[in-house]
A = this chain, B = another copy of it.
Amino acid sequence: MRFTIVVQGGPYTSQASLSAWHFARAVVATGHEIYRVFFYHDGVYNGNSLLTPPQDETDLHMAWCTLGRDHGCELVVCIASALRRGMLDDGEARRYEKPLANLNKLFIVSGLGQLIDGAISADRTVTFGN
């Protein structure tokens, strides 16, 4: 089956991101497929390439990147949530004349249509939030 995973909580602040990541790994481990991980609300903070957690804690940003790279999972960040929270890719940084981008290139900035498409196109949609 194909899963869309919706992440609404920020890393560390709430457990939502950690739970979603464990769930995503289990989807892959059980032979299912991740259609898309959609980061909404504070979930967009997972794409912050500057996350610097203590060395003895799980690096959630790197964990998502690894999942995206190793399994080709699409990691999509909601553009409206991201702009409001200051998570920018190169294109948005240029457009809004900000000096830099902090979103990892493995994360795709896109619209809410990707959430709806994910919900419609995947076999199952599971949400993790605060």
Contact = CB atoms under 8 A, between A and B. Distances in A.
Contact of A50 (B52, B53, B54, B102): B102
Interface string A47-82: 011111110010001000000000000000000000
Contacts of A61: 86
- Interface residues of A toward B: which range? 20 to 34
A42 B10 contact: yes
A11 interface: yes
Counting every copy of the chain, the complex holds 2
Interface string A20-48: 00000000000000000000011001001
Contacts of A88: 50, 52
A26 B21 CA distance: 43
Interface of A: 10-13, 41-42, 45, 48-54, 57, 61, 83-88, 92-93, 96, 98-100, 102
